């Protein structure tokens, strides 16, 4: 009996530890808190949707100027952003070889002229000899052929000298018209081949607003081109818009971006090449459509969806929708919703299907406290 009493405390301790471990092993999960969400009851209305395209202002004529001859670039007289005038020197080549070739061509002209003069003097003497009967008519014809060949050689040498003179003049790159330098492609010391671009000059004159349109929207833009005021441009940093007139539409899509390049006349807008703009295409007004704030829409598994609130159970479920366009800061829902449904418009990224929520109630402003009475003396 005393032996069993001595074993009781260790056994009792083991039982207590087992019960303690069993109680700490698993705990009930805490209930998920109800989230407060902003909601909006869906209603059908009308909207004038629009498409917007990123655009850039460019000069209608933008020339990439290059030398007509090859050589080493000795100097570049203009930098990026410089204003140029017609005939201004933009860059120079090392013209030493060209000058030597010009001198050689000039010497060839002098030699050909001397040969021609000698052949002409011989021909005159042989004319007198033939009249006196000392030479035959065939010999005189041969001398005449020699003179004509010498004259042709002189003409060839003159033409070659003119070509070499032009080549020497091509060592200077001149501006074709007034404009601004928008690109620099070569630096002094480079050896350039004929036709290698050196500078790009945007000539003064009309400006174009250039933008790209996806394949599925090119038809709308073509149709809008014949409707005055359908296309508008808004410069970056400004809320004012101005009408655009489409001037050129690419006949084929870009093989990489699959978009069509469109050029529109900027008209009398005070713009400079390189400015950023937004082209807005206004679409016809549509009735019986549903509009939601941008904050109500989210992407799930590659689909556009919204959270619909079940008022009876106060739970939310995702509903796939199709977006038909934009109207300011709202999206136009083409399908997926019907009037009368209640949609979550804020806090959509933290919800899960079937989650319990509650409608957000804005706090009331505190009532103003009455002023404390003045202390009596």
What does the pLDDT read at residue 24? 53
Q: What is the CATH number of the domain that holds 78?
A: 2.40.50.100
Residue 231 lies inside a defined structural domain of this protein: yes
Residue 160 lies inside a defined structural domain of this protein: yes
Same domain, 82 and 189: yes
Residue 84 lies inside a defined structural domain of this protein: yes
What does the pLDDT read at residue 10? 54
Q: What is the pLDDT of residues 222-281, one digit of tens each?
A: 888 777 777 889 998 888 888 888 999 998 999 999 999 999 998 888 888 889 999 988
What does the pLDDT read at residue 376? 43
Q: How much is the mean pLDDT over the chain?
A: 84
Q: Band the pLDDT of 175: cuts 50, 70, 90.
A: very high
User: What is the percent of the chain with per-residue pLDDT over 90, rounded to a whole number?
Assistant: 45
Q: Is the pLDDT of residue 355 over 50?
A: yes
Same domain, 73 and 196: yes
Q: What is the CATH number of the domain that holds 145?
A: 1.10.287
Residue 186 lies inside a defined structural domain of this protein: yes
Residue holding tokens 């509009």? 291
Which own/partner pairs from 241-250 qualify as long-range (CB within 8 Å, at least 24 positions apart)? Answer: 241/280, 242/267, 242/269, 243/267, 244/209, 244/279, 246/221, 247/208, 249/218, 249/221, 249/222, 249/225
Same domain, 178 and 290: no
Q: Count of domains in the chain?
A: 4
Last residue of a domain, one of 262, 282, 302: 282
CA–CA dist 190, 141 (Å, integer):
56
Q: What is the pLDDT of residues 72-89, one digit of tens each?
A: 999 999 999 999 999 999
Q: What is the pLDDT of residues 225-237, one digit of tens each?
A: 777 777 889 998 8
Q: What is the CATH number of the domain that holds 307?
A: 2.40.420.20
Residue 250 lies inside a defined structural domain of this protein: yes
Q: Is the pLDDT of residue 60 over 60?
A: yes
What does the pLDDT read at residue 241? 86
Q: What is the CATH number of the domain that holds 269?
A: 2.40.30.170
What does the pLDDT read at residue 30? 57
User: What is the percent of the chain with per-residue pLDDT over 70, rounded to a whole number?
Assistant: 84
The whole domain housing 256 covers 51-59+205-282
In contact, 102 and 203? CB cutoff 8 Å: no
Residue holding tokens 């007198």? 128
Q: Is the pLDDT of residue 51 over 60?
A: yes
Same domain, 90 and 175: yes
Last residue of a domain, one of 261, 282, 303: 282
Residue 18 lies inside a defined structural domain of this protein: no
For the question of whether the overall pTM of this predicted structure is more than 0.95, the answer is no
160 vs 31, more confident: 160
Task: State how beta strands 286-293 and 44-47 pair.
Answer: antiparallel
Q: Is the pLDDT of residue 339 over 90?
A: no
Residue 344 lies inside a defined structural domain of this protein: yes
What does the pLDDT read at residue 303? 86
Residue 197 lies inside a defined structural domain of this protein: yes
The DSSP bridge partners found for residue 156 are: none
What does the pLDDT read at residue 116? 93
CA–CA dist 45, 64 (Å, integer):
53
């Amino acid at each position: 009996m005393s032996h069993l009493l001595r074993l009781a405390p260790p056994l009792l301790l083991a039982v207590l530890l087992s019960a303690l471990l069993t109680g700490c092993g698993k705990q009930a999960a805490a209930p998920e808190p109800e989230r407060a969400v902003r909601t909006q009851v869906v209603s059908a209305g009308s909207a004038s949707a629009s498409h917007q395209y990123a655009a850039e202002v460019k000069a209608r004529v933008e020339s990439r100027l290059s030398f007509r001859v090859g050589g080493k670039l000795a100097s570049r007289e203009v930098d990026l952003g410089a204003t140029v005038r017609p005939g201004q020197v933009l860059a120079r080549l090392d013209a030493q070889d060209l000058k030597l070739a010009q001198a050689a061509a000039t010497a060839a002209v002098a030699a050909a002229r001397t040969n021609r003069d000698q052949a002409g003097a011989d021909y005159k003497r042989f004319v007198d000899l033939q009249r006196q009967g000392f030479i035959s008519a065939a010999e005189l014809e041969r001398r005449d052929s020699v003179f004509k060949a010498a004259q042709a050689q002189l003409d060839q040498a003159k033409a070659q000298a003119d070509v070499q003179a032009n080549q020497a003049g091509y060592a200077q790159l001149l501006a074709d018209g007034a404009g601004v330098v928008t690109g620099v492609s070569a630096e002094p010391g480079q050896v350039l081949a004929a036709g290698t671009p050196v500078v790009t000059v945007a000539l003064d004159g009309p400006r174009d607003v250039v933008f790209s349109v996806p394949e599925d929207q090119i038809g709308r833009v073509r149709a809008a081109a014949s409707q005055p005021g359908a296309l508008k441009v808004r410069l970056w940093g400004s809320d004012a818009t101005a009408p655009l007139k489409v001037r050129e539409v690419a006949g084929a899509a870009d093989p990489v971006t699959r978009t069509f390049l469109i050029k529109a006349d900027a008209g009398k807008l005070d713009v400079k090449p390189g400015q950023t703009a937004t082209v807005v295409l206004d679409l016809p007004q549509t009735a019986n459509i549903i509009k939601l704030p941008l904050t109500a829409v989210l992407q799930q598994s590659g689909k556009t969806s919204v959270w619909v609130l079940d008022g009876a159970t106060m739970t939310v479920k995702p509903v796939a929708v199709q977006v038909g366009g934009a109207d300011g800061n709202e999206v136009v829902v083409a399908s997926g919703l019907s009037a009368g449904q209640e949609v979550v418009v804020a806090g959509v990224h933290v919800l899960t299907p079937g989650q319990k929520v509650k409608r957000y109630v804005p706090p009331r402003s505190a009532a103003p406290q009455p002023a404390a009475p003045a202390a009596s003396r």
